[in-house]
Amino acid sequence: MIVDDEPIARDILLTYIQRVPELELVKSCRNATEAYEGLYGQQVDLIFLDIQMPVITGTEFMRSLRNPPLVVFTTAYSNYAVEGFELNSVDYLLKPITFERFYQAVQKVSERMAIKQIPGPETEHQPDYLFIRQDNRLVRVEHDQILYIQAERDFSSVYLKETRLLVGIHLKLFEDLLPLKQFLRVHRSYIINLKAIRAIKGNVIELENAEVPIGASNREELFQRLQL
């Protein structure tokens, strides 16, 4: 779905969407009211959402949805970037939007959609793995393989025991996906596997072949979880 009050902006996005076989436009909307109507009764996986719109802004619209689809914000103003990412948007495109930048956002959407828990057929318990898209493959990653995850601007690096995976999603999504009993955010830029801790020295956690800092605001929760 496209939601933008500018006809030219909608036309450009439509042209770009038509160039990507994986995308299908279900509705093009001029404002939030039309977007609400578009979400009713049909499946929408992704919204290209303008921020500066009359009456209801894009961020206000996003906050009003109980279970929002994935969102890529589009705007001519860079000062909304922080708020956009706080709403867990997939990406933030500055107008005028080139096709190359648009396609990068679509790739991030594909990665975001691929990283999900997949329950087994014989159990309702949370699985102990997730799938991460790498190139054109979905790679199964066991939770116990993950040592830590580091935020890298618009990406995250997932450090496994033997390799590193670079994924185009934010650290917050991993925080929501991974089981709380095993993983903890210990710094604004790091999530660690509690099982992988070898030692703690001062404000540093020692893992296998790596050291991760402890944020001042995260230290108390870490020690509570470790019962120290």
CATH label of the domain that carries residue 144? 2.40.50.1020
HSE value, Cβ hemisphere, 13 Å, CA-based, for 65: 22
Structural domain includes residue 123: no
Structural domain includes residue 70: yes
Percent of the chain exceeding pLDDT 70 equals: 88
| pTM for the predicted model, two decimal places | 0.57
Q: pLDDT per residue over 113-155, tens digit each? A: 766 544 444 444 566 888 787 776 778 889 999 999 999 876 8
Same domain? 110 vs 158: no
What secondary structure does DSSP assign to 94-140, as a single string? Answer: ESSPPHHHHHHHHHHHHHHHH------TT--SPPSEEEEEETTEEEE
Same domain? 108 vs 16: yes
Q: Please give the residue range of the domain that contains residue 23.
A: 2-117
CATH number, domain at 53? Answer: 3.40.50.2300
Spatial contact of 157 and 150, defined as CB atoms under 8 Å apart? yes
Structural domain ending residue among the three candidates 117, 148, 169? 117
State the chain's mean pLDDT as an integer.
Answer: 85
| Strand order through the sheet with 91-94 | 28-29, 2-3, 46-50, 70-75, 91-94
Number of domains the chain is built from = 2
Structural domain includes residue 122: no
Q: pLDDT per residue over 173-213, tens digit each? A: 788 778 888 999 999 999 999 999 999 999 999 998 899 99
Same domain? 15 vs 94: yes
Structural domain includes residue 124: no
140 phi and psi angles, rounded to 5 deg:
-80, 130
Spatial contact of 1 and 35, defined as CB atoms under 8 Å apart? yes
pLDDT at 149: 95
